[in-house]
Structure 1
Amino acid sequence: MTGTNLQTLTAALSLYTSFFIFLVVVTFAAFIILMVILIHDIKSRKKLKDNRQFIEETIGVQEEERRRISQELHDTVSQNIKALLLSQKELKDRCTDTNLLSELEKIISLEKKNQKELRAIIQNLAVPALANIPFKTVINDLCEQFYDQSKIPCKFFVAPDLSLDTFTTEQKHHILRIIQEALNNVRTHAKAEETSVVIRRISGQQKAGGLIRIMIFDDGEGFDSENQLPPTDASSHFGISGMEMRAKLLDGTLTVNSSPDTGTEVRLEIPLQ
């Protein structure tokens, strides 16, 4: 194979790489735009926002869109990146030009990074497995997944005498999505060095069985929650609105406390089942 042919193949592979990265970006941009439009519609119909059925339908749309995008990314972009990596490896094995080898190694390294990031995106979008698995284990696995993706340590503590498996599968799903979104905000905005997920029982004045309090802490760059709103870009606004809607479906409350000195705490309180 001549140097000219290798350069042509390298350029083609680089072009394919750029195309697939562009496809991922466009897909998620469309998803965010769809959700922003949906949230705007919810705000314009404030009375409907408090309607449980409407909230359930909205959450259902979100989950179906997550599932669809996750499946499409796995079936198309992920498979194409794998095929590209195989082609690039074969090309590298046949290449004898030192300069071209160096360029190929850079492209392969970029493809592997894209593959890892895409895998993390698919994991976050996919519906979590909840059947026949203790819910404490599922949350612990989520914390470990967060560390693998962000390299931010995530400690998990749940009171030993507290059972979380009395919740229904639907309730577990909402709780997990709230924790997941809070951790996503830590990774995206907080610049934290550590985060924690703590679950314990508290007494409730209005709830006979008491309450479960779920707290997600971080030690990052907080904000003045009394005088300032949290970050207002489209993705974080969508995330906070989604958490609030899920808290309503759990008959619970969601609060965000933050300060520049202590970081941020997301607190979910729900009736003990």
Structure 2
Amino acid sequence: MYLFTVLGNLLIIVAISSDSHLHTPMYFFLTNLSFVDICFTSTTVPKMLVNVQAQRKNISYIGCLIQVYFFIIFGGMDNFILTMMAYDRYVAICHPLYYMVIMNPRFCGILVLISWFIMFWVSLLHTLLMRQLTFCVGTEIPHFFCELAEILKLACSDTLINNIVLYVATALLGVLPLTGILFSYSKIVSSLMRISSAGGKYKAFSTCGSHLSVVSLFYGTSLGVYLSSALNHSSLQNSVASVMYILVTPMLNPFIYSLRNKDVKGALRRLLNLATSCLR
């Protein structure tokens, strides 16, 4: 599954980068999403695989801090990029005449850079606050990776400030992007309702199908994890649920975009033909 995730997302990146027809804002964001998905999965899964192979379930304190730091960065970037993609579809459908003016390359690049900047500092704040905590000897994390919420429960010192920062960051960086996505699609649906022909509605909404599938998969699995952890304290069930959004969702993203998108399928076909001709 990990290999499929890495290779599938790499294939999407190479296909889009090599095809000039796909050098548009939507595919620029898709390239970034694929890159973030590779990094997001690579933050936790390789260490898990090493532990399974070596039959050792330990991680160093510094290693745990590093894992928390990068997990927060790439998890937050997933949120931001999915929100940017929703805004891109909103502009394309609701304001098509101004699309290239609004979604120009400079603006898209600035959106991504600002997102990286925000997540860098938010993640650093969480890590520095966690660094101030003390832990008892022989602390066991009931998870297959260092998840911040689980670690805070195991600290031997006061975690009030850490929890406040965690809740505020979750509200701002989780709820606000999801609200933005829902608002964008409410405007899209409202705009589509004003289109008279069924063919026009289908053509306009078909460009959102892949993104909607990815958003539903990402938020559905991640919300499912935190709801299940709140209602059910079984560490095994929480770990299994976490695998869904850490590994399964990034693995399925390339398939969703390649199977539902004619442009991506065409780029992949041309890339495959080019690779075949080079081998000959």
Above 0.5 in TM-score?
no
Pick the TM interval, shorter chain. 0.3 to 0.5
- Structure with the bigger percentage of strand: 1
Q: TM-score, normalised by structure 1?
A: 0.34
Question: Which is greater in Rg?
Answer: 1
